[in-house]
Amino acid sequence: MAVASLPVPSRWPSLYGRDVLRLADLSPDDIVQLVQLARDLKQIQKLRIPFEPLKGKTLAMIFEKASTRTRVSFSVGMQQLGGHILELSPTTLQISRGETLEDTARVLSRYVDALMVRTGPHDRLESLAEAATIPVINGLSDDYHPCQLLADLLTLYERFGTLNGLVVTYVGDGSNMANSWIEAAALLGFGLRLAVPPGYEPPAAVLEWGQSEAKSRGGGVYLTHDPKEAAVDADVIYTDVWVSMGQEAETEARLTAFAPFQVNRLLMQLASRHTVFMHCLPAHRGQEVTEDVIDGDQSVVWDQAENRLHAQKALLLSLLANPS
């Protein structure tokens, strides 16, 4: 692609100053425009075109949970856009000594331009966002992972060119990733099959809302306890870890319950030759996925991981730079 054929973006989704705590905080048009912007930013980076619209802007990041992709993608992305980062540990902030989340949000709002938080209970994010006067971004919570979904959607658009008519099969725990996939299907109207063990279903309210919204847009959200049924003719097979951070006490019970839900070569063969395998990482090889699948020809997990950078840049640009 010639440099001249790719102008530096002069417009982007009008998300200026908003919070993004879940995918449903965005409209379908917002999501599509973010994915398109991320694709442009990816090409701009590969062509080494200088583009630093966030000079003078600072992103603060609070990590209450371990992180590789979220930490690096936001840090590198903000710096590539010309901005600065400030990484904060909860153990060195005054919240570790009893300062309220609300007071912390009010103070940080006077110093920085946006706040990204990776935490456990989703209501912690909501408390921060309610008190803050700057955009608050969910880098992961126990309930939702919108930033991962933006990267996943970018990866699917790159592979298939569209989401229309696609069937995504999610195999595993009805956790934050399942919830965010439900929101994506509800907002964009594609097909989603959820194959989860009994007792590990997504919250009923999230599932029912997603089923209703997806149907209204020509898609569908289907729940089953049979991974083989869900895999037949799917375009995407997606999985996540069986034991998330904070669930270590449940490890033995979870490994037993999820054993039939491993994504392996036999499960992939029930889909089709064009089916892609996706995983948000980190992966526990030999548990939720076998090594031959995650390292196989149908795997796009490394594209997903790279696309966290470009999706994060699109989000930051849209939240922090007013195009008008």
Residue 97, annotated as binding a ligand: no
Catalytic residue among 22, 118, 279, 310: 118
Catalytic residue among 22, 254, 308, 310: 308
67 is in an annotated binding site: yes
Active site residue 235: no
Residue 45, marked binder: no
Clarify whether 118 is annotated catalytic: yes
Residue 146 marked ligand-binding: yes
70 is in an annotated binding site: yes
Residue 148 annotated in ligand binding: yes
Give the C-alpha separation, 133 to 124, whole Å.
16
Tokens for 317? 């640009």
Q: Are 58 and 113 in contact (CB under 8 A)?
A: yes
In contact, 174 and 242? CB cutoff 8 Å: no
Query: Is 279 annotated as belonging to a binding site?
Result: no
Report the candidate in 37, 39, 10 with the shortest Cα–Cα distance to residue 316: 37
Q: What is the 3-state secondary structure (H, E, C) of 33-54?
A: HHHHHHHHHHHHHHCCCCCCCC
For residues 243 and 173, the answer to whether their CB atoms sit within 8 Å is no
Is 262 among the annotated ligand-binding positions? no
Give the DSSP H or E segment for 138: strand 136-140
Backbone angles phi, psi at 22, to 5 degrees: -155, 160
Catalytic one of 40, 80, 143, 145? 145
* Identified catalytic residue from 240, 254, 262, 304: 240
Length of the chain: 324
- Residue 145: which residues within 8 A CB-CB, separation 6 or more? 138, 176, 177, 180, 280
Residue 281 annotated as lining a ligand binding site: yes
Phi and psi at residue 59, in whole multiples of 5°?
A: -105, 125
Q: Which of 33, 80, 148, 312 is catalytic?
A: 148
How far apart are alpha carbons 305 and 19 in whole angstroms?
A: 23
List of residues 6+ apart from 284 with CB closer than 8 A? 241, 242, 243
The verdict on whether residue 225 carries a ligand-binding annotation is no
Whether 80 is catalytic: no
Say whether 145 is catalytic.
yes
Coil/strand/helix, residue 88: strand
244 is in an annotated binding site: yes
6 is in an annotated binding site: no
Crossing angle, helix 176-188 and helix 28-46, to 10 degrees? 110
Q: Determine whether the annotation assigns residue 240 to a binding site.
A: yes
Preceding omega of 282 cis (within 30 degrees of 0): yes
Residue of 280, 287, 298, 304 marked catalytic? 280
Q: Cα–Cα distance between 36 and 25 in angstroms, integer? A: 18
Query: Residues within the annotated binding site?
Result: 67-70, 94, 118, 145-148, 176, 240, 244-245, 280-281, 308
Query: Residues within the annotated binding site for L-ornithine?
Result: 176, 240, 244-245
- The residues that are catalytic are 118, 145, 148, 240, 280, 308
Query: Residues within the annotated binding site for carbamoyl phosphate?
Result: 67-70, 94, 118, 145-148, 280-281, 308
